[in-house]
Structure 1
Amino acid sequence: MDSVTRSYFENLEAKDKNVQFEAFNAINAAVKEEVDWAYEVWDELKEWLTDSDNHRRSRGAQFLAGLAKSDPEKRILGDFPALWEVTKDPKFVTARHSLQSIWRVGLAGKEQKQQVIHHIVERFQNGVHEKHYTLIRFDMIQGLKNLYDALKEEEIKQIAMGLIETEEDIKYRKKYMTVWK
């Protein structure tokens, strides 16, 4: 890892919120592409998933999801349950930020994509008693759309359409469909 990237990770802990924000954005931009330093921070980010600081949990989840494509050893397959757990964080903003980035794991390969889709489908179908469930459903549909846009696989679109069709409230069904327009 170069010194600039390392300094971004250090700056996540800076007192100045602007410095933290700049570092967060720089790391997020970096992990949109394949990087050769994923394993230098992997274990640390995995630990962040259960940190007492919700910002660390959120960052850990978002960065690990982005780093999945830089994971030739497929560690994410074993670490996915811990990553998915952050999408159910007691702090809703942390849960939501994690859920909004989880689709990136699906860019890493077929097994990873199947894992993401399986978890989204299962939660969409069985999580109706969660607080803010319509927002969670919206984020999951948006994640499937992002995955579809990146991979152009018709199967992903069909899965999303099938989930939307199961929504009984026409208002929310229409809202979820806006993602696909």
Structure 2
Amino acid sequence: MDSTIQTDFNNLESQVKNVQYEAFQRILAATEEEVDWAYEVWDTLVAGLTDSNNHTRSRYAQFLAGLAKSDPEKRILTDFPALWEVTKDEKFVTARHSLQAIWRVGLAGHEQKQLVINHLVNRFETCMNEKNYTLIRFDIIQGMRNLYDEIHDEKIKVKALELIEKEKDPKYQKKYAKVWKNV
């Protein structure tokens, strides 16, 4: 790991919010591409998914989702349940940020894509009793669109459109459909 990324990880603990935020943004940007340092932080990130600080849980979930493409050992398949739990965090903003990032795991390969899609579909179909379920459903549809835009798997599009059809409320059905309008 180069010293800049190491400094960024250290700066996540800074008392200065701006320094924390900039470090977070740089790490997130770094995980957009494959990196060679994923396993240097992997266990720390997994452990941080249950940290008492919700900001840590949120950040680490987003980093881990991004690092899945840098995981040739496929550790994410074992660690996915812990990552998925953060999408149900007691702090809704933490849960939402994690859910909005989880689609990135699907970029890592076929098994990972199937794992993510299966979880997203199941959550869409079962989240009706959750608080803010319409936002959860929107994030699921948006995540599926993001994954589709990256890998162009028509099965994802078909599944997302099927989910949208299951929405009973015309207002939300229309909102979700807008995500897929230009495909």
TM-score interval w.r.t. the shorter chain? over 0.9
| Cα distance per residue 1:85-138 (max 9 Å; x no partner) | 000000000000000000000000000000000000111111110000000000
Alignment of 1:82 onto 2:91: no
- Per the alignment, residue 57 of structure 2 pairs with 57
In 2: Cα distance, 1:122 partner to 1:69 partner = 23
In 1: Cα distance, 2:160 partner to 2:98 partner = 19
Alignment of 1:20 onto 2:20: yes
TM-score relative to the length of structure 1: 0.99
- Per the alignment, residue 138 of structure 2 pairs with 138
- Per the alignment, residue 108 of structure 1 pairs with 108
In 2: Cα distance, 1:27 partner to 1:51 partner = 19
In 1: Cα distance, 2:8 partner to 2:105 partner = 22
- Per the alignment, residue 172 of structure 1 pairs with 172
- The share of aligned pairs that are identical, in percent, is 70
- Per the alignment, residue 38 of structure 2 pairs with 38
Unmatched segments (≥5 aa) in structure 2: none
In 1: Cα distance, 2:178 partner to 2:24 partner = 29
In 2: Cα distance, 1:86 partner to 1:60 partner = 10
Shift of 1:26: 0.2
| AA of the residue aligned to 1:139 | D
Which secondary structure state, in structure 2, belongs to the residue aligned with residue 135 of structure 1? Answer: helix
- What RMSD in Å do the two structures reach over aligned CA positions? 0.4
TM-score relative to the length of structure 2: 0.98
In 2: Cα distance, 1:78 partner to 1:134 partner = 29
- Per the alignment, residue 153 of structure 1 pairs with 153
In 1: Cα distance, 2:26 partner to 2:16 partner = 16
Which secondary structure state, in structure 2, belongs to the residue aligned with residue 33 of structure 1? Answer: coil
Superposed structure 1 runs of 4+ greater than 2 Å apart = none
Shift of 1:49: 0.2
How many residues align structurally? Answer: 181
